[in-house]
Chains A and B, each alone.
Chain A
């Protein structure tokens, strides 16, 4: 007798109907990032060497705040999916692979939160 349920015998053996999930989300975020990154690239070029006040003023404009938050969220999401593919390809040892994958996801979550809070703080004028 064992404490394990028979479910363990079925796990990982067949389709869970999520086979294209990673692939699809990588493409979905990629499509969204094309206009977002064109906007970001040329916007940053326009602000360039601006002083603190013009930078903050630019970030605080509603359209810019919205697109910045979207860029952070979608960009980091796409980044996590991409790094996951790279890690899965190059790190063979399962423990190391899992550790790096977890660290990447935690780091991305922290970065996304920090970036979005920074934009909100500027745009809400706290």
Chain B
């Protein structure tokens, strides 16, 4: 007999607390899509540089503005997060790291690695440019 009312679907995103691994999984997707947009910006910057000093000097201040810096910082975190989570995916592909304890540990490792690499990159940036 068919159900006469709509059943809730699982996982019901409004009431279901996603496990850590699921949060990392959807973040991997979101950062991936964001990085595709970042690639567009990178190519535009290269094209600006190839168009000569006038164009580059006109575009450049955008990257120095605090909002531009914030966006660049966001891309740094997204890049390293996607890289660390991606490396974990490669281990999974090879058949390693499926134990729940291991997954929990590597989840924190992925997040820690992303933060560490981002901070390190910006320390290098500030040290190299003194700003």
Chain A residues with CB under 8 Å of chain B are: 27, 30-31, 33-34, 37-38, 41-42, 44-50, 52-53, 55-56, 59, 68, 72, 75-76, 79, 82-83, 86, 111, 114-115, 117-119, 121-122
> How many contacts A-B (CB < 8 Å)?
91
Nearest Cβ in chain B — how far from A27, in angstroms? Answer: 6
Interface SS of chain B: helix, strand, loop or mixed? Answer: helix
Chain B residues with CB under 8 Å of chain A are: 29, 32-33, 35-36, 39-40, 42-43, 46-47, 49-50, 53, 56-57, 60, 64, 76, 79-80, 83, 86-87, 89-90, 93, 117, 121-122, 124-125, 128-129, 131
The residue in chain A whose Cβ has the minimal distance to the Cβ of B36 is: A79
Contact A46 B125 (CB under 8 A): yes
20 other A-B residue contacts (CB within 8 Å) besides A41-B79, A45-B124, A114-B47: A30-B89, A38-B83, A41-B121, A44-B125, A45-B125, A50-B129, A52-B53, A52-B57, A59-B46, A72-B46, A79-B32, A79-B35, A79-B36, A86-B33, A115-B43, A115-B46, A118-B43, A118-B46, A118-B49, A122-B50
Interface SS of chain A: helix, strand, loop or mixed? Answer: helix
